[in-house]
Amino acid sequence: MALIECVDLTHVYLRGTPLEAVALRGVTLSIDAGTFVGLLGPTGSGKSTLIQHFNALLRPTSGTVHVAGIDLSQPRADVKTVRRQVGLVFQYPEHQLFEETVFDDVAYGPRNLGLATEEIQDRVQDALRLVGVDPDAFGRRSPFSLSGGEMRRVAIAGVLAMQPQVLVLDEPAAGLDPQGKQEILGQIRTLHRERGLTVILITHSMDEAAQLVDRIVVMNRGQVAMDGPVRGIFRRADELASIGLGVPAITDLMLRLRRRGVAVRPDVLSLEEARAAIWEAVRWN
Amino acid sequence: MALIEIQNLHHTYHAGTPEAVVALDGISLTIERGEFVAIVGGNGSGKSTLAKHLNALLLPTEGEVRVDGLDTREPASTWEVRQRVGMVFQNPDNQLVATVVEEDVAFGPENLGLPSREIVERVEESLRVVGMLDYRRHQPHLLSGGQKQRVAIAGILAMRPQCLVLDEATTMLDPLGQREVMETIHTLNREGVTVIHITHAMEEAAQCPRMIVLSSGRVAMDGLPVDVFSRADDLHRLRLVLPPIPALASQLRRDGLPVPERILDADDLASAIASLATERVGHGRVGNGAD
């Protein structure tokens, strides 16, 4: 069984009231350990509702969700184990910082697990290093004296210190300046590549998705509208446009070139690939 | 007289305490009526602090800000300044107050004590400009992010401001919402509203005729986007990056492909490459021209 497995998952908010809203309708999806999945879709398409099922913050109205073999549609499911394995980083996680020092903030989760002091120390230092924050220089500072990008990284370290198998991030780069964005996304890529973490990334940026993920799941109106390898998804530009999404700027350039009769590959994702494709077309046309 | 004149503006938070932080460190700027200006800069460069000085939400620690000739430090001018400059913030959910779209838009004009016929007219006109008239009786919380932001903009337009300041108003929106807001503010600018758009999205800044780059509370660059984006190394030092299209164009030029300089737009780059490709038809294989 896959690490995360949803079968016919439906979620209805405020069922039986005049405010009833169907957020997910019949989502079937499986995510294998060690993959990097991009979750895309317009506002209100059900992305946030879906990821909250992955660590049992929400339970299915109908259908099933299994995480690491635990059936979360069962009321008595072992939620604690699931929450330890799936770390959720919400939008603007720095709003949830609260301790007096960076160290204490990151240590909050591990302390609640009742770990030994030494183990806590190791985990905090490790987690801070993973997000590029020097534990010696920053550990004793107040989290509120940090820059926006640093606060964001400390908040993510707090989730990493729980040593989850799966990291789910909702727009981790929103509101950061262009370099802050690149730094944080680079660190997430490193976590995936070097620690083998399974990563699920919600983003509105097609460029971010193209840079990072292996597979894209597109949500629309509570359903999975598209699901496949990143290159294949960005070949379907018209379908993406019909649900209000687009393709990365570089992919869009290739499509414009093809419309002008230049025979470049359409499924280009990065600047490097575009460079090669353009040289080839200019040489051989 | 320019619409906004800023002279040697300094702003220090918690001035005179051990926590004092200098956010603006000597900014002088002039923004003319009808301009469309993008303000960019790294986190902590002073963008939002500057924006809040434009409608007297913050007052200078030193120096002065004049809006339509009014000194923002003058308490008697505060309301006149705020009628001239409206602000749109990042989170649309924090800016809507009423339970029906048209009531939300009417909130400002009602507070001006205008006659009800005038209020109705202003609400209709504002909703029409942002393309939300069909939603006038909808509940704001059921709208998409882009629609909410457009309602927030309509609420400000109903005050008939001369200038609209958007402080990262597209940051939390999905791609369609971002496009909707950008199209809306371009339309407003064509109708004569001065627009100041603060953003981290370099592609959005590239669409504005003038681009101001802030760094450590000072103006580091001020000019046409093509000129700003021709200084890639300086931008990098200021925690910014080139948007993908100019980045690719300059890379191709470095590789030796004679792509014209000053390209910002995907369509322009595509035509340049297409004409290079056609030129080479029949010339056989050519070298890659690298230096």
Shortest distance between the Cα of B40 and any Cα of chain A, in A, equals 9
Identify whether residues B266 and B203 lie together within a single domain: no
Identify whether residues B222 and B272 lie together within a single domain: no
| Contact yes or no for A203/A43 (Cβ under 8 A) | no
Tell me which residue of A30, B217, A145, B132 sits closest to B123, measured CA to CA.
Answer: B132
Beta bridge partners of A86: A166
CB contact under 8 A, B43 and A147: yes
List, edge to edge, every strand of the sheet that includes A62-67.
A21-31, A4-13, A62-67, A70-71
CA B148, B99, B56, B194 torsion-angle sign: positive
Identify whether residues B141 and B261 lie together within a single domain: no
Residue A285 confidence (pLDDT)? 55
Shortest distance between the Cα of B181 and any Cα of chain A, in A, equals 14
Identify whether residues B184 and B257 lie together within a single domain: no
| Contact yes or no for B241/B202 (Cβ under 8 A) | yes
Tokens of B97: 């107050």
Residue of chain A whose alpha carbon sits nearest to that of B146: A43
B266 in contact with chain A, both atoms CB, cutoff 8 A: yes
Identify whether residues B121 and B215 lie together within a single domain: yes
CB contact under 8 A, B274 and A44: no
Quote the CA–CA distance of B120 and B267 in Å, as a whole number.
42
Count CB neighbours of A148 within 10 A: 16
Shortest distance between the Cα of B75 and any Cα of chain A, in A, equals 32
CB contact under 8 A, B273 and A278: yes
Task: For chain B, give the number of residues.
Answer: 291
Q: Identify the H or E element spanning A179.
A: helix A178-195
Identify whether residues B131 and B256 lie together within a single domain: no
Residues of A in contact with B180 (CB under 8 A): none
- Total number of domains in chain B: 2
ipTM above 0.90, yes or no: no
One-letter identity of residue B191: E
Strands, E assignment, chain A = 4-13, 21-31, 36-40, 62-67, 70-71, 86-89, 166-170, 198-202, 215-220, 223-229
CB contact under 8 A, B270 and A260: yes
Name the residue with tokens 């009628």. B83
CB contact under 8 A, A180 and B42: yes
Residue B141 confidence (pLDDT)? 86
Name the residue with tokens 């499986």. A30
DSSP B187-236: HHHHTT-EEEEE-S-HHHHHTSSEEEEEETTEEEEEE-HHHHHT-HHHHH
Residues of B in contact with A208 (CB under 8 A): none
CB contact under 8 A, B257 and A278: yes
Identify whether residues B152 and B123 lie together within a single domain: yes
Quote the CA–CA distance of B147 and B141 in Å, as a whole number.
10
A253 in contact with chain B, both atoms CB, cutoff 8 A: yes
Identify whether residues B143 and B213 lie together within a single domain: yes
One-letter identity of residue B124: E
Torsion of CA B42, B48, B53, B54, to 10 degrees: 100
Tell me which residue of B244, B262, B248, B259 sits closest to B202, measured CA to CA.
Answer: B244
Give the domain ranges of chain A.
Answer: 32-57+78-230
Main-chain phi, psi angles of A255, to 5 degrees: -65, -40
Residues of B in contact with A174 (CB under 8 A): 171-172
Quick one: how far is CA B144 from the chain centroid? 21
Identify whether residues B247 and B221 lie together within a single domain: no
One-letter identity of residue B285: R
Exposure string (b/e) for B61-88, b if CB count within 10 Å is 16 or more? bebebbbbebbbeeeebbeebbbbbbbb
Query: Over the stretch A89-141, which tens digit does the pLDDT of each residue have?
Result: 998 899 999 999 999 999 999 999 899 999 999 999 999 999 989 999 999 99
B108: domain range?
Answer: 4-227
Identify whether residues B134 and B17 lie together within a single domain: yes
Residue B227 confidence (pLDDT)? 95
Q: Which residues in chain B land under pLDDT 70?
A: 280-291
Q: Which of B90, B143, B200 best probes binding to A when mutated, by most A CB atoms within 10 angstroms?
A: B200
| Contact yes or no for A131/A180 (Cβ under 8 A) | no
CB contact under 8 A, B248 and A262: no
The answer regarding whether domain A32-57+78-230 maps to CATH 3.30.465.10 reads no
Local structure of B265: helix, strand or coil: coil
A95 in contact with chain B, both atoms CB, cutoff 8 A: no
One-letter identity of residue B127: L
| Contact yes or no for A190/A199 (Cβ under 8 A) | no
Residues of A in contact with B266 (CB under 8 A): 249, 252-253, 256
Average pLDDT, consecutive stretches of 10 residues, N- to C-terminus, chain A (285 residues): 95 90 96 97 93 95 96 93 94 91 95 94 94 92 87 94 95 90 92 94 95 97 97 95 94 95 91 94 75
Quick one: how far is CA B105 from the chain centroid? 21
Residue B93 confidence (pLDDT)? 84
Minimum-distance CB partner of B251 among A179, A248, A271: A271
Shortest distance between the Cα of B49 and any Cα of chain A, in A, equals 15
Task: For chain A, give the number of residues.
Answer: 285
Residues of B in contact with A284 (CB under 8 A): 285
CA B172, B176, B179, B184 torsion-angle sign: negative
DSSP A209-273: HHHH-SEEEEEETTEEEEEEEHHHHHT-HHHHHHTT----HHHHHHHHHHHTT----S---SHHH
Domain-embedded: residue B140: yes
A280 in contact with chain B, both atoms CB, cutoff 8 A: no
- Indicate which CATH number applies to the domain containing B76: 3.40.50.300
Q: How many CB pairs under 8 A join A and B?
A: 124
Residue B290 confidence (pLDDT)? 38
DSSP 8-state assignment for residue B160: -
A250 in contact with chain B, both atoms CB, cutoff 8 A: yes
Beta bridge partners of B223: B211
DSSP 8-state assignment for residue B40: E
